[in-house]
Amino acid sequence: MNPRVLILGGGVGGIVASKVLKKTLGREVNVLVVDRNRSHHYVSSLPLLATGARKPEDITRRLDKSFYEQGIEYLNAEITGLEPENKTVITDKEKLTYDYLVIALGAEYHPETVPGFRKNVLNGYDFDDVLELRKELADFDEGNIVVFITSLPFKCPPAPYEMMFLLDEYFRKRGKRHKVKLTLVTPEQRPEPIAGPLVSRSIRNMLEDRGISLKTGARILEVASKSLILDQGVKIPGDLFIGVPSHWGPRCLRETGLVDGFGWVKVHPFKLQTALPDVYAVGDCTGIKLPVSETYAPKAGIFAHYQAEVVGRNIARLIKGQLPNFSYTGKGA
């Protein structure tokens, strides 16, 4: 009987790992992808969707159709737990056994950590909220738009900055920019800190050149109907709030011993192996630490892609009885 590779999550990491395995091994392997969503939305394109540069169908793929065309099995189900001693994954529909397991569950959004978020904010990382934002922007002629980041880490670190530049361009094209104030609020001490001081300075200068206000080192306490409330009594007025909610590691893994103290899956930085035999993790759910700074490596689709390639190719080599000689370099290209 062919070995089964079970992949949890149909995002970038899950899609790439499954296709690498099937392309490499063909009928020699059974690949099953489990995801609670029936469609995949490409999160990196959400700022473009908000400002009308993309249509919903441009960034959406049905998982069942996409996987079946590749000869990959797909199950629409919620992951509820793991039984590693039995090499079993528990879902809300059935128990699934595996020979190799790839965890690509991404990060969970928790807007409830900020009072007023659910009521007064559109989640810039949620497909449905961004569709609503698209409508709101079409009718927005003047006032204050505030984009804020709740906490660190968060995925797609450039996305809030991209959103600001796209909003600037959007209102300039409509001839309304002089009536719209744009403000970005972040807990980062400087823009894109992991990219280094030169990049941070460049982004700060570009924001300033376009008249976009930047508030760094911010701690968000609450979102009221017309103001973003920070610590030390700072209030930032707003008529439209776009937020990046707190990101947490997957709930179903918190009692497995696979995660660190912050809920992210601990993996070998080069091989992406977990502490469990034949279990790997890729993408946003992982907690890879950078050397020296000990901060988390960026969470973005491009990194998930290359991590998934490494894992997919190494599992394929193991199935063939070969040494797993591919390593993740930490780069996105």
The phi and psi torsions of 74 (rounded to 5 degrees) equal: -140, 135
d(C-alpha 280, C-alpha 103), whole Å: 6
Of 253, 278, 267, nearest to 307 by C-alpha is 267
Residue with tokens 């039995």: 86
d(C-alpha 130, C-alpha 143), whole Å: 19
d(C-alpha 252, C-alpha 230), whole Å: 32
Buried-state track 180-197, b at ≥16 Cβ within 10 A, e below 16: bbbbbbbbbebbbbeeee
Write down the pTM of the prediction.
Answer: 0.94
Q: Are the CB atoms for 174 and 59 separated by under 8 Å?
A: no
Residues in the chain: 333
3-state DSSP assignment of residue 256: coil
What single DSSP character describes residue 259? B
d(C-alpha 70, C-alpha 14), whole Å: 13
pLDDT at 65: 85
Q: Order of strands, edge to edge, in the sheet holding 79-83?
A: 79-83, 88-91, 95-97
3-state DSSP assignment of residue 218: coil
Of 89, 128, 112, nearest to 120 by C-alpha is 112
3-state DSSP assignment of residue 286: strand
pLDDT at 333: 53
For residue 185, give Cα distances in angstroms to 50, 154, 178, 182, 228. 19, 14, 20, 10, 9
Q: What angle do CA 86, 258, 320 make, to 5 degrees?
A: 60
Residues near 333 by beta carbon (within 8 Å), at least 6 away in sequence = 302
> Tokens in use for 202?
């460049």
d(C-alpha 97, C-alpha 92), whole Å: 14
Give per-10-residue mean pLDDT for the chain (333 aa): 95 97 96 96 95 96 87 96 95 97 97 98 98 98 98 95 98 98 97 92 98 98 97 96 97 92 95 96 95 85 96 98 94 60
**Distance from chain centroid for Cα 249:** 11
